Chains A and B, each alone.
Chain A
Amino acid sequence: MTTVLRSRFLRPSSVLIAGVALASLLLPPLLDSGKQTVFVLFTLYVVVTVGLSLLMGLAGQISLGQAAFYALGAYTAGLLAKHGLPQLLALAAAPVGSAVVAALIGVPVLRLRGHYLAFATLAFQLIVLTILAEARGITGGDIGLGGIPPLLPVLNQGQDSELDLNSPLVYCYVGWVVAALVIVLTRNLVRSRPGRGLRALATSEIGAAASGVAVGADKLKVFTISAAYAGLAGGVYAFFLEYLSPGSFPILLSIQFIVMATLGGLGEVWGAVLGAAVIVLLVQILQAAASQPGLPRQAPAILSYAAYGGVMVLVMLFLPAGLLPAIRQRLSRPSS
């Protein structure tokens, strides 16, 4: 018993996870505030990508509209907080709002397969963006929704102490906690009866159904969970920026989530983290390169599109299972 416990505790993956957790806790204070903003966005992308990876890798579904759920969560939290709901309750409402919408559209949408599901989710995002832009009375339209209160009460108003509870540094840790929560919940789900059912239905719906897996209901649940994660991330985003506009949730963002999930390894919780980290770093490098003087203003966006396309092609050619499974295979080969 003790040997089992010890060996499990000292498994290389546990050590690695502890290392990653510690390093990511120590990193934010070392960053300047611009890089802290990138770190916050990274934690939010992790949250969305973990959900999308679950949806694509385990339930075998695709969503080209994940940024729409991110947007819905952001606007839910932003609007509720702006209209007086306590901020933490507004944040809690963000995943619920996205999940309810996902559960409603999921019933017809999940009857579709492959390309049709991709088109339907893409169309859904376009519809959401249109509504956000047109419902000016509520959302502020294209001009945007401002005046969202900060997440944590401002204790130090008027003084310029270092105790600003709404600095990017604090949001680094808010994002960290939310990401950690989502990672733990998802990992628990994957390693359990319902998680095995999902993995099973991804490769044989008939085999899974005949074994008692509620295939249709489980697919809808995963779709809803992935939307809830995106909504939760969107909620944090709303408080972090204190301002929202439809332009912050382009189709490119949905594509970015798919690239992150695919690069890391679909269905892999830690793959989603790795995929998000690599893409965030890559985009940082490209944007630094693209904003050199003399280059056109659209250069960063164009480079991002090119990078996502390029990464997808490379993954499909060389890492069909994704980065994390490839690394794991490399590491396990010599020992076994």
Chain B
Amino acid sequence: MPPSQMMLSATDLTRCFGGVVAVNGVSLAVARGALHAVIGPNGAGKSTLFNLIAGLLRPDSGTVALEGRSLDGLSPEARARLGTAIVFQAVRLFRGMTVLENVMVGAHASTHHGFVEAALRLPRHWREEPLIRGRAEQALVRAGLAHLSDRAAQSLPLGQQRAVQVARALCSEPRLLLLDEPASGLRSGEREALARLIEELRAEGLTMLLVEHDVAFVTRLANRITVMDRGRVIAEGEPAQIRQDPAVIAAYLGRPTEAKSVASGG
């Protein structure tokens, strides 16, 4: 496929922390509309890879492009404006703000009115505010949180905080959604609701990159899987292929305790 067919192409990304090579020469291409999963044991470098794509970390080397357009050197906010959105593994909500307000911040990437327009209540403020609110309310409905919109975000249990993050990301109407272990710490009902939401989003054509430890969950949803171990890609392919790959079985699937793990690796 030509590069423009790819929603995301990451090429040869490397990032070290002191002596640890967290991401080591990783290349990854995500087709438009695909749900691409990244799996691998804790410490494999999945979250670091996501941070490199979202611009929250700088790579030591390598490049990232969104729909053929280079993202290198762009700030996280610039990348968000171009259409990336991330659901963090370590929940990052805004304290002192309601669930609705948290989600409304997600709309920042695709709205524009600034300090002067807000302070003077100029027309664009009046146009955009109801739009932002409406979009946030819609995202809350999709994430199953509509009844909690006035609650303080930090007062919710962890599972619902994760759902708030998903709603916040959806509120930006992203082109590429990065989901870093969105199901960890969720109860089985919440997990099922999340899987249904992800299926819905995929049906609508949203491109997603998903990290998840639960292999059944991943093989049900993803149409492509990249397996990482110790910073490197050790396999890539369709779910059926991956399940039979000896390197994968050795590195990851062969360790059931790890595969079921919900511990957060950073």
Contacts and interface: CB of A to CB of B under 8 A. Distances in A.
Interface of A: 185-186, 188-189, 192-197, 199-200, 202-204, 206-215, 221, 225, 267
B86 to A, nearest CB: 5
B92 A206 contact: yes
A38 B108 CA distance: 43
21 contacts: A185-B119, A185-B120, A188-B118, A189-B115, A193-B129, A196-B97, A196-B101, A202-B94, A202-B96, A206-B88, A207-B93, A208-B105, A209-B76, A210-B56, A210-B76, A210-B88, A211-B108, A211-B168, A212-B109, A214-B77, A267-B96
Contacts of B142: none
Ranked nearest first, the 10 interchain pairs of A and B with the lowest CB-CB distance are A212-B109, A192-B118, A207-B92, A212-B80, A212-B108, A209-B76, A203-B95, A200-B94, A185-B119, A200-B105
B213 interface: no
Tell me what chain A mostly uses at the interface: helix, strand, loop, or mixed: helix
Contacts of A204: 92-95
A211 B172 contact: yes
B60 interface: no
Contacts of B93: 204, 207
Contact of B77 (A192, A202, A213): A213
Nearest to B95: A203
A182 B68 CA distance: 46
Given A204-B93, A221-B115, A210 B80 contact: yes
Interface in B84-100: 85-86, 88, 92-97
A194 B132 CA distance: 12
A188 B116 CA distance: 10
Given A192-B113, A207-B88, A213 B119 contact: no
Interface size class of B (residues with CB under 8 A): 35 or more
Contacts of A189: 115, 118-119
B244 to A, nearest CB: 36
A265 B199 CA distance: 45
Contacts of B125: 192-193
Given A185-B120, A193-B107, A200-B105, A207 B132 contact: no
B94 A208 contact: yes
Contact of A209 (B75, B95, B111, B132): B75
A108 B165 CA distance: 33
B151 interface: no
A185 B56 CA distance: 33
Contacts of A213: 77, 105, 108
A206 B168 CA distance: 14
Contacts of B106: 211-212
Contact of A210 (B54, B128, B129, B132): B54
B157 interface: no
Contacts of A193: 104, 107-108, 111, 113-114, 118, 125, 128-129, 132
A154 to B, nearest CB: 33
A211 B109 CA distance: 6
Given A188-B118, A211-B172, A213-B77, A196 B105 contact: yes
Contacts of A209: 56, 75-77, 80
Contacts of A199: 94, 96-97, 101
B121 interface: yes
Nearest to B102: A200
Interface string B145-183: 000000000000000000000001000100000000000
Given A193-B114, A212-B172, 5 more contacts: A200-B105, A207-B92, A212-B110, A214-B75, A225-B115
